[in-house]
């Protein structure tokens, strides 16, 4: 996951609507079922999806009253903590 991409998705949701991200996720998940996709292509789609899901998690924390910076840092700390285990 990349923080700049998650921030970009957050900005996008603020300008547009969260539903756009949900619909994009559905589209990308459906795309992963194409049997002719190469592993590299699946990896790219997976990375995009993980950033989208991360942005949704951060947005949820923000909606619950957490400041944006704290929500982003907390999310990335959890991600990095799970990688270190």
Reply yes or no on whether the pLDDT at 81 is more than 80: no
User: In this predicted structure, what is the pLDDT of residue 1?
Assistant: 85
User: In this predicted structure, what is the pLDDT of residue 84?
Assistant: 57
Other CB atoms within a 10 A radius of the CB of residue 59 amount to: 19
Which sign, positive or negative, has the C-alpha torsion 56, 58, 63, 69? negative
What is the model's pTM? 0.90
Spans of all domains in the chain = 3-84
Determine contact, residues 3/76, Cβ cutoff 8 Å.
Answer: yes
Instruction: Summarize pLDDT for 7-60 with one digit per residue, the tens.
Output: 999 999 999 999 999 999 999 999 999 999 999 999 999 999 999 999 999 999
């Amino acid at each position: 996951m990349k923080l700049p991409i998650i921030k970009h998705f957050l900005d996008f949701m603020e300008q547009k609507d969260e539903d756009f991200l949900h619909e994009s996720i559905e589209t990308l998940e459906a795309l992963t079922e194409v049997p002719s996709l190469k592993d590299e292509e699946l990896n790219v789609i997976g990375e995009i999806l993980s950033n989208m899901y991360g942005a949704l998690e951060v947005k949820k924390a923000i909606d619950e009253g957490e400041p944006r910076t704290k929500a982003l840092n907390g999310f990335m700390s959890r991600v990095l903590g799970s990688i270190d285990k």
